[in-house]
């Protein structure tokens, strides 16, 4: 009986043109003739842009104008003699930074590590590094430098406070954050009759400090208002539902810059001539209400996306309506619309630059005004030097906006948004 021997086959490796970098390029960039042509054209355009952009950035650009503006970019005219006559007010915003570092240290201790730990360490370290700026002592004295470095021990104090005392819970961190924000506002505004705390008019608040104050206040306050508006629009009470619908549609249908202009021109007509009107407060209220209208629609979309069977099951178990909303429906709705909510908060932060319409010098308007003034007065040689200022501003806004987006992404992955 003969045995049939099957031939031995040797498996050959794939061609070199199909693996590694060459394989990736062939599969993704040069798979067809039109993909190859598009790759070449895009490569030429990108190479040309990089060549001229990088050559200007590293050869022609002069970022000394950022140092010329200096602290104006951070706090505006807050520490000038006109705003703060006869005293040094620079310690007030720096004390607010120390409170923030303290709260970051507490958050680090409560969270135990991860993203919160990295943020808590990076922010005070970056702030403390500003003390090493190569300014003369006449322009940046030892008191300013020491207050900047003090953010590092503030971080450690906050960490120890939360670790070894009874305030080491998220509830206490939230409460102390609100109190710290209010205390910072009181310090920045000043207290009449208290030595060293003479009031500083909000007209002199500016720079990045103004943008951050408006953004933080708007985000914190607009979120609960948006939740209330979303629930009110879904209410069975006709009057409440109508009021919420009218509020949301009015604020969503009018541009924010128009509302700010109306607050500056039309609102004073409803009050006596000697009635005190705070431009900063009006801007904060309008930005908050404007953001709340969009947040309400985001949350309402999340509520409508939930399966009605969950609410029916809750009612079958005998849960009251408000228990069903607060404990079952609302947490899931907020979880599902985290990207939309964070996107609205990012838009709110960028919209704070519109307060120039009511005469406030945020970081963008202040940079434009002072940079052009320096050019006109001959303090800067060329108008092209202003370009570096706005590149710096774009970087600042990108850092804050990307930071919020990154934190949002980490929260989404932790909560499993989009997973079943």
Q: What is the CA radius of gyration of the chain?
A: 28
pLDDT tens, residue order, the chain (420 aa): 556 566 666 676 766 666 677 778 877 888 888 888 999 999 999 999 999 888 888 887 777 777 777 778 888 888 887 888 877 888 888 999 999 999 999 999 998 878 888 889 999 999 998 888 877 777 778 888 898 999 999 999 999 999 988 888 889 999 999 999 999 999 888 888 777 788 888 888 888 899 999 999 999 999 999 999 999 998 888 999 999 999 999 999 999 988 888 887 777 776 666 666 678 888 888 999 999 999 999 999 988 888 888 878 888 888 787 778 888 888 888 888 888 999 999 999 999 998 888 888 888 888 888 777 766 666 655 555 577 888 888 999 999 999 999 988 888 887 776 665
| DSSP-based three-state secondary structure for 306 | coil
Q: What are the backbone dihedrals phi and psi of residue 362, each rounded to the nearest 5 degrees, phi first?
A: -75, 180
Instruction: Assess contact for 373 and 355: CB atoms under 8 A.
Output: no
Angle at 183 between CA 126 and CA 70, to 5 degrees: 40
Cα(53)–Cα(408) distance, integer angstroms: 32
Cα(274)–Cα(272) distance, integer angstroms: 6
Cα(228)–Cα(298) distance, integer angstroms: 12
DSSP H helical ranges for 254-307: 256-265, 279-304
- Confidence (pLDDT) at 157: 93
Instruction: Assess contact for 415 and 404: CB atoms under 8 A.
Output: no
| DSSP-based three-state secondary structure for 297 | helix
- Confidence (pLDDT) at 3: 60
Q: What is the pTM of this model?
A: 0.85
DSSP string computed for 190-229: --TTSTT-----GGG-EHHHHHHHHHHHHHHHHHHHHHHH
- Confidence (pLDDT) at 54: 86
- Confidence (pLDDT) at 48: 93
Cα(310)–Cα(331) distance, integer angstroms: 13
Structure tokens at 86: 């006869």
Cα(153)–Cα(54) distance, integer angstroms: 39
């Amino acid at each position: 009986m003969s045995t049939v021997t099957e031939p031995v086959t040797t498996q050959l490796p794939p061609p070199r043109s199909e693996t590694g970098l060459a394989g990736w390029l062939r599969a993704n960039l040069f798979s067809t003739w039109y993909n190859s042509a598009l790759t070449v054209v895009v490569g030429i355009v990108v190479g040309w842009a990089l060549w001229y952009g990088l050559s200007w950035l590293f050869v022609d650009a002069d970022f000394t104008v950022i140092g010329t503006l200096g602290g104006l970019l951070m706090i505006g005219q807050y520490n000038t003699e006109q705003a703060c006559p006869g005293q040094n007010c620079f310690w007030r915003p720096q004390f607010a930074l120390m409170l923030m570092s303290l709260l970051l240290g507490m958050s680090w201790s409560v969270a135990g590590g991860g993203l919160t730990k990295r943020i808590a360490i990076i922010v005070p370290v970056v702030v403390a590094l500003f003390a090493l700026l190569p300014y003369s002592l006449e322009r940046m004295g030892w008191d300013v430098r020491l207050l900047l470095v003090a953010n590092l021990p503030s971080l450690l104090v906050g960490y120890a406070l939360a670790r070894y005392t009874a305030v080491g819970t998220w509830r206490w961190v939230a409460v102390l954050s609100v109190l710290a924000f209010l205390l910072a506002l009181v310090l920045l505004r000043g207290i009449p009759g208290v030595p060293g705390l003479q009031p500083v008019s909000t007209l002199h608040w500016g720079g990045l400090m103004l943008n951050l104050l408006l953004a933080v206040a708007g985000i914190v306050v607009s979120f609960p208002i948006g939740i209330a508006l979303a629930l009110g629009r879904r209410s069975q009470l006709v009057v409440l539902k109508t009021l919420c619908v009218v509020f949301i549609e009015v604020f969503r249908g009018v541009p924010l810059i128009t509302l700010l202009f109306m607050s500056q021109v039309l609102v004073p007509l409803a009050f006596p001539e000697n009635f005190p009107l705070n431009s900063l407060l009006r801007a904060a209220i309008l930005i908050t209400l404007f953001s709340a209208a969009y947040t309400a629609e985001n949350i309402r979309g999340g509520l409508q996306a939930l399966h009605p069977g969950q609410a029916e099951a809750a009612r079958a178990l005998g849960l009251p309506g408000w228990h069903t909303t607060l404990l079952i429906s609302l947490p899931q709705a907020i979880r599902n619309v985290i990207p939309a909510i964070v996107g609205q908060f990012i838009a709110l932060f960028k919209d704070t630059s519109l307060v120039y319409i009511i005469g406030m010098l945020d970081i963008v308007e202040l940079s434009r005004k002072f940079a052009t003034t320096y050019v006109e007065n001959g303090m800067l040689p060329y108008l092209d030097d202003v370009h570096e200022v706005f590149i710096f501003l774009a970087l600042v806004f990108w850092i804050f906006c990307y930071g919020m987006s990154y934190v949002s992404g980490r929260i989404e992955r932790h909560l499993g948004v989009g997973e079943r």
